[in-house]
A and B are shown apart, each in its own frame.
Chain A
Amino acid sequence: GAGVSQSPSNKVTEKGKDVELRCDPISGHTALYWYRQSLGQGLEFLIYFQGNSAPDKSGLPSDRFSAERTGGSVSTLTIQRTQQEDSAVYLCASSLETRGRVGYTFGSGTRLTVV
């Protein structure tokens, strides 16, 4: 597609429920990244996928968070047993080049609210 597409754009869920967030990167981009941004805060790295290599999961805050990327394209971020502190905007980005020499293109994010 023309840009990075994320769905849903907004999600309100009850504490304790599981949620799935989807990211469809720019076609041909080999690197895909998930960040989250809490209100008024900076971007917090979660996980990234680059090509066929094992993903870097070092930013996932707990084992309730997981992500996968199928067929080197679409990625889903799953949060199990959501907590109120999980409320944030979850941003996905993709990049054509995998060594950080070009910037990312971000999707418009999923705003997650846990009530």
Chain B
Amino acid sequence: RKEVEQDPGPFNVPEGATVAFNCTYSNSASQSFFWYRQDCRKEPKLLMSVYSSGNEDGRFTAQLNRASQYISLLIRDSKLSDSATYLCVVNADSWGKLQFGAGTQVVVTP
């Protein structure tokens, strides 16, 4: 079983719609969670950290469910520029190593 699993998609989303997707992680001791965004042939960039109480950053909302070991990302009012691969990231140890999921592709269409 992979340590971080994501639905690869693609999620095809009309512009202006809402899209949400999850990722599951296997290490119950994980304490830090992030969503990264990766555009085609570019490096990953930090989108947002995920906090226990859930957090929002503009149109993006992240949630953490420790009991079921998943995190989620919701994008409201999707823009064409939101088209990207979204990487779920979980800390793999207490010394900073992060484990990356393979990514969920989102395609926003006009």
Contacts and interface: CB of A to CB of B under 8 A. Distances in A.
- State whether these chains interact: yes
Interface of A: 31, 33, 35, 41-43, 45, 48, 50, 53, 56, 91, 95, 97-109
Nearest to A106: B43
Contacts of A42: 87, 100-103
Scoring B32, B49, B97 by chain A CB atoms within 10 A of each residue's CB, the highest score goes to B97
A100 B91 contact: yes
A98 B97 CA distance: 9
B87 A101 contact: no
Contacts of A95: 96
20 contacts: A33-B97, A33-B98, A42-B102, A42-B103, A43-B44, A43-B100, A45-B92, A45-B97, A48-B97, A50-B96, A53-B95, A56-B97, A95-B96, A98-B95, A100-B31, A100-B98, A102-B49, A103-B34, A106-B44, A107-B43
Interface of B: 31-32, 34, 36, 42-46, 49, 87, 89, 91-103
B63 to A, nearest CB: 18
Nearest to A108: B43
